Amino acid sequence: MLSIGLDIGSTTIKSAVLGEDGKLLYNSYERHFSQIPPRATAIINNIKDKFSLTDNDEVRFCVSGSAGMGFAEDAGFPFVQEVYATRTAVLRYMPDTDSVIELGGEDAKILFLTGEENGDKELEVRMNGSCAGGTGAFIDQMATLLGITPDEMELQAREYEKIYVIASRCGVFAKSDIQPLLNQGARIPDIAASIFYAVVNQTVAGLAQGRQIKGNVLYLGGPLTFHSQLRAAFDKTLGVKGLCPENSLCYVAMGAALAPQDKAMRLGDIITSIQERKSSGTYKSCEPLFDNEEEYKEFRERHMRDRVETADPKTAEGKVYIGIDAGSTTLKCAVIDEQGRLLTSVYMPNSGNPVPLVRNFLLDFYKEYPALTVAGSASTGYGEEIIKNAFSLDNGVVETVAHFYAAKRFRPEVDFILDIGGQDIKCFKIANGAIDNIFLNEACSSGCGSFLQTFAGALNYDIEEFAKLGLFAKAPVELGSRCTVFMNSSVKQAQKDGATLDNISAGLSMSVVKNALYKVIRATTKDASVSLGKHIVVQGGTFFNDAVLRAFEKEIGMNVVRPDIAGLMGAYGAALYAMERAPRQSTILNQSELEGFQHEVKAVTCKGCTNNCKLTVNTFITADGEKRKFIAGNRCDTPITGKKNSDDELNLYSYKLGLLESYKPVPGKMGRIGIPMGLNMYELLPFWYRLLTELGFEVITSPASNRSLYLKGQQTIPSDTVCYPAKLIHGHVQALIDMGVETIFYPCLTYNIDEGLGDNHYNCPVVAYYPEVIKANVRALSGIRYINDYFGIHRPKDFVKKFTSKMNGYFGNVFTVKQVGRAVRLAYEEYKGFLKNIRDTAKAYINAARKAGKHIIVLAGRPYHVDPEINHGIDKLICGLGAAVITEDSVSAEMEKFRVAVLNQWTYHSRLYAAAKYIADKPDMDLVQLVSFGCGVDAITTDETRSILESEGKIYTQIKIDEITNLGAVKIRMRSLFSAIGK
Amino acid sequence: MKEIKTHVTSGIPFSKAMKKEYTILIPDMLRIHFTMLRDVFVSYGYKPELLTNTGPQVVNEGLKYVHNDTCYPALLVIGQMIDALNSGKYDLNKTAVMITQTGGGCRASNYIHLLRKALKKAGYENIPVISFNISGLEKDSSLPLTLPMLVKMIFALCYGDMLMLLKNQVEPYETEKGAADKAVNKWTKELSRQFKAGKCWSMKALERNMRSIVSDFAGIKVKITPKVRVGVVGEIYVKYAPLANNFLEDFLRSQDCEVNVPGIMNFICFKIDNRIEDINLYGGSAIKKFVCGKLLGIFYKIEKIMQSVLAEYPRFVPPATYRELKKMVKGIIGYGSKMGEGWLLTAEMVELIRSGYGNIVCAQPFGCLPNHIVGKGMIRKLRAIYPEANIVPIDYDSGATRVNQENRIKLMLAVGAEKLRDREQRTDKSESAKKEAEEATV
């Protein structure tokens, strides 16, 4: 009897037919475009024909796969979990395997088949958790972003020269890493290869969780079968030579076929069961977008009224102004006359490199309208700088300002603008004629235009068709507002529960709106005219989609203005901006200069400082042979000016870092003791250093954080969703072990020192207890004296006694209470002195900044945000924009305890609230909060800090940071802030 | 002087006068336990209402009024309350809401503030918020608890633990479907009646009741077949509340498993004991330590009763006592790790593994900080000590889908089923070997 296994994954369906002896007789692999039942039926019929069977022939039959679970349940088929199926197949066909790495459409799995210690047969399996970056869908998504197919990506990657660091935790993150690279002109082969390495890192960091992948490694699943470069990246990272076996796509299906079955099934019954399968549930639905055609007509007519004034470029003459918006996925150009009327425009995908497209646009324009004189030009968007430099434009304008200029043309009284573009959501409030508050989307809040597009693509539709489907859907699916990966599975579930495509389309449009409202703006809809504004203008390409527009109006219960050039607003605004600023001949390249224009790109690593920025050097050569260089990817001016960061830079982050680095080891009779420089050590190093040094230890701190230090410890991270500062600790501990220290000191601290600013003085759970995680997961610690006891430095007297007894326990009774008491006293003094130093320096910086007329930014985070690997040089970036940067702990002591609306129980967070209060009445100060991704505590502090600042009329700015951070977005945010406060 | 502006609102305190008139909305976490708790409130003249509303609108209200990165339990509890207030079922001038507050370094201590903020945003600023806590937080809004009332509540939780334990151990094997459920209903009614009558708060009464309960459950006809035994641990709300864990227990039962969800008493002991541990580790008041020790002593007595009563029926697996749990985790994680569920969560995993429930779902809200340490952070170490451990951490969150969660759980169950088969085969073999040996001697 034949055994048939069917593996229905998130994007593909695979089958395997085995003979009595377990030999593979037939297999198939195809995409199912969510049309699972017809595809499954076709496959069974195919097998029937292939083996000349009839409906009455009996087979053993079993289903597996993530989408197969619901399918099997509904049709009453036997089901086997896919990882388990993989293992069955591997044990049967490749019995010598030690570990398996299997990547699927939306899943990533690692199987350990032999014991870590002894090589005995065992089973330990890992599946990706709720964050599902680094999978096949992710690779597809990235390929789309690069404007190539996944196959082409493979070919491109072979030509790589260097690897950029790209986050693959999720598509949103990765996109925001790749986009700036594209805009800076990085080479596609380098990006393609970097994407594969990102997948490897995500898999290893997220799934290995403390186990080393070694021995005979097997690669299975689509991505690893199709991309030899991905396999190479795994080989290189893991230091193994993995094998991708024959039929590597069908192991799950083969495993399903091998699953023991009690009874055989008739082929005819299988087909009938598929067709007659009952859906087990109903999906959650919401109100339709439009009840009828009339409603839609009225809606259309209302929005047709918001049209831009235009003029015919053929008959126009005189001065014109050009605005160019090089956005994340699209390029927009607009030309206006002196009355601000739109003459001509383009809107096209930027295909990864906007420079040649702009050149063509300008050349065409010059040729077609020789009578017009360009009197001013401006660029905006992600590619603002490269375009400005390449074509010698007159101005660059931050995109928020550009959008505001454009919106004002449509509604002079506009007080709220929402822009949903391809990759990002921008919202800003306007008060007193200036931008007052800005919201930008961040990771874990996707739901932009490209999200809809990717979805439409996955279902084999183009975006416009797909959106139209939803307009009259009767029961749109309620999908909530989460990230793309979750959305995919929600849609799958809804489909399983009988949702039709039109209802899914409408549901997706609504989820985009809800995402913007509740995750980005964090508005409550009780009264949108209060929480948003009275005169709302919406724009960005995504709002061309009537379904999205309607969903937005329905959700907030108000009518809004959508200009007919919703997708062009950035460019149009930039042109208006150029007009306001440029009453003279423009510096823009002319036709002859453009004719011979060339653009070269080179990737280099900056050696200016420890940040090791990956730079892209663009060289623009004009017809007359003039060469101009444009460097991108830098955080400071060093690579451009060649100078080290100047001494007059007022950066307390740098100062604090330098101060911490000044604690050098002093040889002592107790030998070396290592301290991992992470988390609260950035606060308490002076304390522990002095204490241990006084007791005769030579205190060795782990080296400065960087990417390679992180990768050293990556394999031992047990939780992939913990914050990056915590993850870094693994690298620091490994570095100390590699340095050969015999003792590592990393105590647990439930409580911090009470600074009297809050109701309690806790550390957050991660800071408090991370030493336990290190102990439980870093195997290399065996043989090392690892001191991770619980100490209470908030009670100095008791601390002396407890510390003495603990240390005597480790080192034999060598310390007396008196001796320790003295050392502890000195340690507290050292710590106080350190804080005083920081606070005094802050005062000096504030005075200097005021003298120089500089704005002062309190870059507020936690002590460990001083680490450049954690803050990604944001401090330098802000200084580069002409402001002074100080820390939250440098001003918090200026405040007395005051009431906040939350339980104020963490020392570090009390400082944050105090700093917010401190700057509230200082016109030349603003606060920017750094938030590490995954910081649960900050869900509470961000809202509270915002309330404190806003109740005092200050703008709240939050920057979310993770392993990798898109500095382009940070820059936009900071520039918008400066433009809002009039700097 | 500059005028001090503030965005802080104080909320309305819950006054004595409100007691009789106001309906108090209580979030549901453990149906059996909380039903009895509610009845204790009723017996003291309150008008409590256990919230049972579920559905997408609960999550939606939560998403709307609570920061979306906040833990899922806060989002759900607050969403559930606002949804209930929106329903029109309650007189908004005569309704209060109650929320528990644990205190401690976890962000859960902030739920009440998030609730107040959310109520304000939703336009329910005039609804009094009552804090239910034993940490002395929020003095103005705390419920006036009398000692007898507190004792009854503790007893209610003990009974709840016992009923839950027995239900879980009997239900999968009962020959008459619904028999265990019936017994649970019978006893929650009976105990509530006793609470109302003012009885049943002596240790003697407790022991008598416990004995009758166990004997009732022991009398239910069962057919013992080998089943995959699964333990559930996690962040307390997600561990217990079906609203948060997508009806995890029902799902596991539908997969033909026996489920073991450790009770809530240990959590209370843990919270009391933390004060003692703090003093042990960092120094502090000897009087406070003494008082806490006395209080713990009461719980130890109750535990002993539960264990001795269960010991009469060997087929029931008794829960470890708090002190046993504490011993189990020694050397794995320090007693100082007290935020959230702290070391107790790790201890519960050890207990489950040791008592034959090595297949474990570790449930946590996405981004739960303590769980990075005591849950996910300890799995590797537990596996090193107990290779038979088969633990799957599952994140719960408004965006996580059931399909994904169930798929991962199914993988854990497949491994569990295989282990069960192996064990059966081994016992079969050893039995047949024994038989052969016996035959040989004959």
Q: Mutate which of B65, B282, B395 to disrupt the A interface (most A C-beta within 10 Å)?
A: B282
What are the pLDDT digits (tens) for A462-499? 888 888 888 998 888 887 665 655 676 677 777 767 78
Measured CA to CA in angstroms, residue A663 lies from A740, A821, B316 at distances of 20, 21, 60
pLDDT at A280 over 60: no
Edge-to-edge order in the sheet of strand A743-745? A697-701, A671-675, A743-745, A785-787
Please report the pLDDT score of residue A437 as a whole number: 72
- C-alpha distance from B57 to closest chain A C-alpha (Å): 10
The residue written with tokens 């217990």 in the block is B240
- C-alpha distance from A630 to closest chain B C-alpha (Å): 39
**Residue A623: both structure tokens together:** 């017809």
Residues in chain B with CB shorter than 8 Å from the CB of A948 are 7
Residues in chain B with CB shorter than 8 Å from the CB of A765 are 105-106, 339-340, 369-370, 372-373
- Select from B104, B336, B368 the Cβ nearest to the Cβ of A790: B336
- C-alpha distance from A114 to closest chain B C-alpha (Å): 12
Burial A233-257 (b: 16+ CB within 10 A, else e): bbeebbebebebeebbbbbbbbbbb
Q: Which amino acid is at A229?
A: Q
Please report the pLDDT score of residue A13 as a whole number: 92
Q: Residues B249, B379: one domain? A: yes
B416/A93 Cα distance (integer angstroms): 23
**Residue B95: both structure tokens together:** 């309704």
pLDDT confidence bin for A863, thresholds 50/70/90: very high
Closest CA in chain B for residue A260: B418
B397 at the A interface (CB within 8 A)? yes
User: Is the CB of residue A335 less than 8 Å from the CB of residue A322?
Assistant: yes
CA A564 to the chain's CA centroid: 32
Domain boundary among B142, B177, B195: B142
Question: What CATH number belongs to A420-560?
Answer: 3.30.420.40
CA B264 to the chain's CA centroid: 5
Measured CA to CA in angstroms, residue A462 lies from A11, A423, A458, A474, A855 at distances of 18, 18, 10, 22, 48
Residues in chain B with CB shorter than 8 Å from the CB of A518 are 63-64, 68
Residues in chain B with CB shorter than 8 Å from the CB of A719 are 371-372, 376-377
**Residue range of the domain that includes B236:** 229-258+355-442
Please report the pLDDT score of residue B78 as a whole number: 93
Query: What's the fold here for domain A100-244?
Result: Nucleotidyltransferase; domain 5 (3.30.420)
What are the pLDDT digits (tens) for A552-569? 999 888 899 999 998 899
Q: Mutate which of B125, B373, B394, B410 to disrupt the A interface (most A C-beta within 10 Å)?
A: B373
Q: Is A480's CB within 8 Å of B413's CB?
A: no
pLDDT at A447 over 70: no
- C-alpha distance from B361 to closest chain A C-alpha (Å): 13
Residue A206 DSSP code: I
The answer to whether residue B115 is domain-embedded is yes
Residues in chain A with CB shorter than 8 Å from the CB of B280 are none
Mean pLDDT along residues A158-162:
89
pTM: 0.86
Domain boundary among B92, B120, B142: B142
- The residues of chain A that CATH labels 3.30.420.40 are 3-93+254-276, 100-244, 318-411+571-595, 420-560
- C-alpha distance from B413 to closest chain A C-alpha (Å): 9
Size of chain A, expressed as the number of residues it contains: 983
Q: Is B105's CB within 8 Å of A519's CB?
A: no
pLDDT confidence bin for B1, thresholds 50/70/90: very low
CB atoms within 10 A of CB B179: 18
Mean pLDDT along residues A704-728:
88
Residues in chain B with CB shorter than 8 Å from the CB of A763 are 105
Residue A232, phi then psi, degrees to nearest 5: -60, -40
The answer to whether residue B42 is domain-embedded is no
pLDDT at A86 over 90: yes
B120 at the A interface (CB within 8 A)? no
Closest CA in chain B for residue A799: B282
What are the pLDDT digits (tens) for B236-267? 999 999 999 999 999 999 999 999 999 999 99
> Which residue pairs from A108-116 have beta carbons closer than 8 angstroms and sit at least 24 positions apart in sequence?
A108/A132, A108/A134, A108/A135, A108/A202, A108/A203, A108/A206, A108/A207, A109/A83, A109/A207, A110/A203, A110/A207, A110/A208, A110/A213, A111/A83, A111/A86, A111/A87, A112/A211, A112/A213, A113/A87, A114/A215, A115/B387, A116/A211, A116/A212
DSSP assignment of A786-811: EE--B--TTSHHHHHHHHHHHHHHHH
User: Is the CB of residue A437 less than 8 Å from the CB of residue A976?
Assistant: no
B106 at the A interface (CB within 8 A)? yes
The answer to whether residue B126 is domain-embedded is yes
**What part of B 125-144 touches A (C-beta under 8 Å)?**
137
Residues in chain B with CB shorter than 8 Å from the CB of A921 are 2
Is the domain defined by A318-411+571-595 classed in CATH 3.30.420.40? yes
**Residue B4: both structure tokens together:** 């001090």
Q: Is A903's CB within 8 Å of B65's CB?
A: no
Q: Residues B240, B370: one domain? A: yes
User: Is the CB of residue A879 less than 8 Å from the CB of residue A857?
Assistant: no
pLDDT at B142 over 70: no
Q: Environment class of residue A919 by beta-carbon count within 10 Å: exposed (0-12), middle (13-18) or buried (19+)?
A: buried
User: Is the CB of residue A553 less than 8 Å from the CB of residue A584?
Assistant: no
Q: Which amino acid is at A579?
A: M
B404/A105 Cα distance (integer angstroms): 13
Measured CA to CA in angstroms, residue A124 lies from A111, A494, A927, B405 at distances of 6, 32, 47, 18
Q: Environment class of residue A291 by beta-carbon count within 10 Å: exposed (0-12), middle (13-18) or buried (19+)?
A: exposed
Please report the pLDDT score of residue B353 as a whole number: 96
Closest CA in chain B for residue A776: B381
What ipTM score was computed for the predicted complex, to two decimals?
Answer: 0.91
Size of chain B, expressed as the number of residues it contains: 442
Please report the pLDDT score of residue B440 as a whole number: 63
Q: Which of A23-27, A354-358, B217-221 is the least confident region?
A: A354-358
Q: Is B339's CB within 8 Å of A952's CB?
A: no
- C-alpha distance from B290 to closest chain A C-alpha (Å): 19
Please tell me the class of the A3-93+254-276 domain. Answer: alpha beta
pLDDT confidence bin for A938, thresholds 50/70/90: confident
Q: Is A80's CB within 8 Å of B414's CB?
A: yes
Question: What CATH number belongs to A652-795?
Answer: 3.40.50
Q: Is A795's CB within 8 Å of B406's CB?
A: no
Residues in chain A with CB shorter than 8 Å from the CB of B59 are 480
Q: Residues B241, B384: one domain? A: yes
Residues in chain B with CB shorter than 8 Å from the CB of A84 are 411, 414-415, 418
Q: Is A130's CB within 8 Å of B366's CB?
A: yes
CB atoms within 10 A of CB A475: 18
A201/A164 Cα distance (integer angstroms): 12
- Select from A798, A905, A943 the Cβ nearest to the Cβ of B109: A905
Q: Which amino acid is at A601?
A: V
Residues in chain B with CB shorter than 8 Å from the CB of A952 are 5
Q: What percent of chain A is modeled with pLDDT above 70?
A: 91
- Select from B104, B137, B376 the Cβ nearest to the Cβ of A718: B376
The answer to whether residue B8 is domain-embedded is no
The answer to whether residue B389 is domain-embedded is yes
List all residues 6 or more positions away from B182 whose beta carbon is below 8 Å from its beta carbon.
none
User: Is the CB of residue A630 less than 8 Å from the CB of residue A618?
Assistant: yes
pLDDT at B166 over 70: yes
B107/A764 Cα distance (integer angstroms): 8
Domain boundary among B142, B173, B204: B142
Q: Residues B135, B254: one domain? A: no
Three-state secondary structure call for residue B345: helix
- C-alpha distance from B380 to closest chain A C-alpha (Å): 6
Please report the pLDDT score of residue A94 as a whole number: 92
The answer to whether residue B184 is domain-embedded is no
pLDDT at B4 over 60: no
From the CA atom positions of chain B, what is the Rg in Å? Answer: 23
Mean pLDDT along residues A42-61:
92
Higher-confidence residue of A659 and A115: namely A659
User: Is the CB of residue B364 less than 8 Å from the CB of residue B235?
Assistant: yes
What are the pLDDT digits (tens) for B57-87? 888 888 888 877 788 888 899 999 999 999 9
- Select from B70, B333, B403 the Cβ nearest to the Cβ of A489: B403
Residue A48 host element (H or E): helix A36-50
Residue B398 DSSP code: S
B117 at the A interface (CB within 8 A)? yes
pLDDT confidence bin for B2, thresholds 50/70/90: very low
Q: Which of A211-220, A402-411, A498-507, B429-438 is the least confident region?
A: B429-438
B216/B242 Cα distance (integer angstroms): 26
**Residue A221: both structure tokens together:** 């699943």
Closest CA in chain A for residue B341: A765
Mean pLDDT along residues A390-407:
90
List all residues 6 or more positions away from A805 whose beta carbon is below 8 Å from its beta carbon.
none
User: Is the CB of residue A640 less than 8 Å from the CB of residue A631?
Assistant: yes
CA A189 to the chain's CA centroid: 22
- C-alpha distance from B41 to closest chain A C-alpha (Å): 27
A816/A793 Cα distance (integer angstroms): 18
CATH label, A854-980, candidates 1.20.120, 2.30.30, 3.90.320, 3.40.50? 3.40.50
CB atoms within 10 A of CB B237: 25
Residue B131 host element (H or E): strand B129-132
Three-state secondary structure call for residue B341: coil
CA A442 to the chain's CA centroid: 7
A99/A219 Cα distance (integer angstroms): 9
B317 at the A interface (CB within 8 A)? no
- Select from B122, B379, B402 the Cβ nearest to the Cβ of A493: B402
- Select from B378, B387, B407 the Cβ nearest to the Cβ of A69: B407
How many interchain CB pairs under 8 A, A with B? 245
Residue B328 host element (H or E): helix B322-328
Three-state secondary structure call for residue A537: strand
Q: Is B398's CB within 8 Å of A482's CB?
A: yes
The answer to whether residue B37 is domain-embedded is no
Structural domain count of chain B: 2
Closest CA in chain B for residue A791: B282
The answer to whether residue B185 is domain-embedded is no
Q: Residues B240, B374: one domain? A: yes
